[in-house]
Amino acid sequence: MSTLSFALTPRRRRAFGLLVATEMKIGLRRPVAPIVAVGIPLALLVIFGSIPATTRPTAAFGGISFFTLYVPSLLVFVLIAVGLGGLPQQLAAYREQGVLRRLSTTPVPPSWLLAAQLLISLMLAIIGITILLGVGALAFGLALPATIGGGLVALASLVLTVAATLGLGLCAAALASSPQVAGAFQALFFYPLAFFSGLYIPLQEIHSQVVSTIAKVLPTGAGFNALHASFLGHSPGIEPLVVLAAWAIGCSVAAARLFRWE
Amino acid sequence: MYTPQLNRTQTSAPARATGEAAAPVIDVSHLHKAYATTIAVDDVSLTVNPGEIFGILGRNGAGKTTTVECITGLRTPDRGSISVLGLDPRHDRHELHERVGVQLQHSALPDRIRVGEAVDLYASFYRRPADGRELLATLGLEASRYHYFAKLSGGQKQRLSIVLALIGQPEIAVLDELTTGLDPEARRDTWRLIEGVRDRGVTIVLVTHLMEEAERLCDRVALIDRGRVIALDRPAALGAQASTSQRIRLHSPGSLGETILDGVPEVSRVERRGQDIVVFGSGDVLTAVVLAFDRAGVRAEDVRTETASLEDAFLTLTDESTATNAEMTR
């Protein structure tokens, strides 16, 4: 109901910049989200990258190593940790404490705070992905798409996965009336969603039609499929990309309709 | 020192001194706002003059906060019209918030924002912000510049909320339940600050449920009960209004007292409270009661009278409002 109007005069652009900078400073004073979203997957990457058995090509995985298969799962981990952890927690706390209400009495609409938090989550996601891919490629010989076309497909897969998972986060932020509820959402949805990205075991190992069908329609499963194929230089096909786009758009529309500023 | 609004001070001060009617800065007419199950504001009309401290006084749940939320554009009224500085709070919300500073109940800052950061951030929201450093100094928060919001005391948080309500150099400041939860000393300090703000020419709308606060600070007070304005006047005038319906309590067992007072013109009503009677009346009812007892040859024992205050006015007027309501629903 509040206007997402951005009459971006230079003064208002400065105000938004200061809001983002201040929110980042506040976030770094209690860096739970960055540690969980980047630290844990980085630790897993280093562990599995250091074990010879997991870095050897395996026939069971179609001639690639477990490590190569696992990196897309870790990328999805980063994104759902940012989307379901940081973003809804922060916004629910701000709503409950009355930070959004305080802002709504100034010339700046409370939607700016949502935009700032979204931007910070996006930056955190980009930083996390860059660190994982950088460390993976430099320290453990992770193969990245070699051609420009392959790189663009991988980038498109990444962008859509980010959009879908942050969309989920916005939905959770819209529905969570308090940080406790946001925490419950996270506990309830994080692990199942992570499962379908192959975080616990590669889904190929399960050999279940049901599991792979569910994975195809979930943002984490579709994200894994898109990232896995495109990082190997294959075409992911249109299906996972459409699923991701649908999640991104559907969640954003739902969040915009459901969001409560108080 | 921080001295904004100088020209306004000069123009509004004479108006205040002579009591002449300047154009009101806030004009609310027949405001009505209902939520799903309750009528929060039934029918509120009031005007606030430039340069005054205007009190909105009432019990918890009387409709005070909803009224100021409508005035500041946070809620859309179901009926009625509101004009603030000639603006429509809903349609000109942005412009309104540039010129009206608001501190609301149940609003806060992030726990880990530093005082100085909050002031700088909020200053950036406004066209012509005040000097945040000077404002902090004026409100005695200079030493807390680097403290986290969560670490501030209740009084410091309230002072910071005044700083943030004033950081945009507003023409009107709306302060909702500013001193709730403060100890008496911090409360008195806050009152002095509010008077200081008014002296800079800022019109203040003060929402409170504390009689003492309204009596001490406000030039005029609107008493709100069950979503209606039941009285609107200077605090002293409201007190006087209560004194015209004075109450005297005295010891008088049996039914003798009622018999003695029957037909005394100053007495409007007598109520029995166990061994005591309570006499309601107007004018010099005390003398009339004592004389009537004396004429009957009975000594009036244990006579107590209350000096009329805003609190009496409040109780008297809300009692009347309750009685009227009861009659209306009957």
pLDDT for position A7: 58
Calpha distance B116→B136 (Å, rounded): 9
Instruction: Answer whether B228's CB lies under 8 Å from B321's CB.
Output: yes
More confident position, B121 or B191: B121
- Say yes or no for a CB contact (<8 Å) between B110 and A102: no
The yes-or-no verdict on residue B20 having pLDDT over 80 is no
- Minimum mean pLDDT range among A83-97, A126-140, B78-92, B258-272: B258-272
Q: Is the dihedral of CA A225, A227, A228, A234 positive or negative?
A: positive
pLDDT, tens digit, 9 for 90 and up, residues B193-252: 889 889 989 999 999 888 888 888 999 999 998 899 988 989 888 776 655 566 788 888
pLDDT, tens digit, 9 for 90 and up, residues B32-73: 999 988 899 999 999 999 999 999 998 888 899 999 999 999
Calpha distance B44→B63 (Å, rounded): 9
pLDDT for position A71: 94
pLDDT for position B309: 62
- Minimum mean pLDDT range among A55-64, A249-258, B141-150, B197-206: A55-64
pLDDT, chain A, mean = 90
Tell me, yes or no, if A10 comes closer than 8 A to chain B by beta carbon: no
Calpha distance A23→B80 (Å, rounded): 39
Compare CB distances from A26 to B74, B98, B113 and report the shortest one's residue: B113
- Say yes or no for a CB contact (<8 Å) between A97 and B108: yes
Nearest-Cα residue of chain A relative to residue B69: A105
Q: Label residue B307 by pLDDT band (50, 70, 90).
A: low
pLDDT for position B17: 43
pLDDT for position B3: 43
A-facing residues of B in 124-183 (CB < 8 A) are 124-127, 164, 168
Q: How many CA atoms lie within 13 A of B59 on its CB side?
A: 13
The yes-or-no verdict on residue B4 having pLDDT over 70 is no
The yes-or-no verdict on residue B9 having pLDDT over 80 is no
More confident position, B305 or A236: A236
- Of the candidates A87, A72, A71, the one whose C-alpha atom is nearest the C-alpha of residue A36 is A87
Compare CB distances from B72 to A15, A99, A105 and report the shortest one's residue: A105
The Cβ of residue B189 has, within 10 Å, a number of other Cβ atoms equal to 18
The yes-or-no verdict on residue A259 having pLDDT over 90 is no
pLDDT for position B138: 86
Nearest-Cα residue of chain A relative to residue B89: A105
- Say yes or no for a CB contact (<8 Å) between B74 and A25: no
Instruction: Answer whether B202's CB lies under 8 Å from B174's CB.
Output: no
The yes-or-no verdict on residue B253 having pLDDT over 90 is no
How close A92 comes to chain B (CA, Å)?
12
Tell me, yes or no, if A255 comes closer than 8 A to chain B by beta carbon: no
- Of the candidates B169, B171, B174, the one whose C-alpha atom is nearest the C-alpha of residue B66 is B174
Calpha distance B136→B166 (Å, rounded): 11
Compare CB distances from B112 to A30, A105, A108 and report the shortest one's residue: A30
Percent of chain B exceeding pLDDT 90 equals 42
- Say yes or no for a CB contact (<8 Å) between A98 and B106: yes
Nearest-Cα residue of chain A relative to residue B72: A105
pLDDT for position A113: 92
Tell me, yes or no, if A98 comes closer than 8 A to chain B by beta carbon: yes
Q: Label residue A2 by pLDDT band (50, 70, 90).
A: very low
pLDDT for position A1: 38
Instruction: Answer whether B90's CB lies under 8 Å from B76's CB.
Output: yes
Nearest-Cα residue of chain A relative to residue B90: A2
More confident position, A13 or B322: A13
Token representation of residue A224: 């894994």
pLDDT, tens digit, 9 for 90 and up, residues A105-150: 999 988 899 999 999 999 999 999 999 999 999 999 898 888 899 9
Contact residues, chain B, for A22 at CB < 8 Å? 113, 117, 121
- Hey, is A183 helix, strand or coil? helix
pLDDT for position A5: 47
pLDDT, tens digit, 9 for 90 and up, residues B265-279: 888 788 888 888 888
How close A129 comes to chain B (CA, Å)?
27
pLDDT for position A117: 93
pLDDT, tens digit, 9 for 90 and up, residues B143-155: 999 999 999 998 8
pLDDT for position B105: 80
pLDDT, tens digit, 9 for 90 and up, residues A193-232: 999 999 998 888 888 899 999 999 999 999 999 999 999 9
